[in-house]
Amino acid sequence: MALQAVLKVLQGAHGFNKACIVQHSHPKAVAFFFPGDQITAAGTSPQVMHLQEPKVQVTLMADKFLDCTVMGILPSRMEAGSACYDHFLHKTTQTGEPLGYQGSSLKACAQLCSLRAAAGLPPELPTILIGFSKGGVVLNQVVAELAVWASEREAIKDAATPSAAASAPANLKQFFETIQELHYLDAGLNCRGAYPTDPEAVSHLGRLATPPRFMLHGTPRQWEDRHRPWIRNEKDRFLALLGLAGLSMRQRLHFEGAKPSLLMHFQILQELRPTWDE
């Protein structure tokens, strides 16, 4: 029997989020999926309209990430189709563009940890994060928070002013330790900030006892966009920083040589190959 996606409303540490969940009977990991903007323009192809449906996207991820319970976390709000992840990011514009990534807030991980608990999922299972298109901003915030956790987790307990990481609750500390993989699916923004490019933050990730692995999946739609060259530049910079930090990473270009299109941007959800050894 095919797994079914169920829509729930869950309360997190920073507010309510709708979650589209495909529950595995015996999950070996929990995969969080963050979608991007919704295309509302007249004349959009039926294929695009179908592939941007949350239940369709989450079901596709369940088919790709086998043995995982997949939680599609819908944006905190939508502004004329623009995804706004207010409950995860430190600060955004009215249409959800990130105004920097502040790791010391631990906001994204606190929200994810609490949403996971509200869904009744085991806290010890490995965590996989998947950010599609604009949804990649949540992964960027998690990277910033992981960097703070890595640099501050050895803080002296009797410090006069304990750090946010040192004073974090036990369940949040456990959540940090479960983060295993981050997958960027054709990430992109209409402003800078599509990928992490802070050298200090990325270098701190190498201090983690078990650093997560990073896989960047892209299409010509984002990585070869002449009008938004920062997307490719940031992607290349991020990969270079991951390499300098000694972290495991891969990049995979889908539809190589094809003419960039909106459809290919959504078809990456169908063509995704998350296996590490290919």
Structure confidence by residue, pLDDT tens digits, 41-85: 878 899 999 999 999 999 999 999 999 999 999 999 999 999 999
Sign of CA dihedral 233, 80, 9, 173: positive
Of 151-155, 176-180, 209-213, 217-221, least confident by mean pLDDT is: 151-155
- In angstroms, the CA 71 to CA 65 distance is 11
Q: What percent of the chain has pLDDT over 90?
A: 85
Structure confidence by residue, pLDDT tens digits, 243-268: 999 999 999 999 999 999 999 999 99
Local structure of 109: helix, strand or coil: helix
- In angstroms, the CA 142 to CA 184 distance is 12
- Residue 158 is predicted with a pLDDT of 45
Strand boundaries in the chain, DSSP class E: 5-12, 15-22, 29-34, 68-73, 77-79, 82-84, 127-132, 179-185, 213-218, 249-253
| Cα 268–Cα 32–Cα 136 angle in degrees, nearest 5 | 55
Q: What structural domains and CATH numbers belong to the chain?
A: 10-38+108-151+166-269 (3.40.50)
Instruction: Reply yes or no on whether the pLDDT at 2 is more than 90.
Output: no
Structure confidence by residue, pLDDT tens digits, 85-117: 999 998 999 999 999 999 998 999 999 999 999
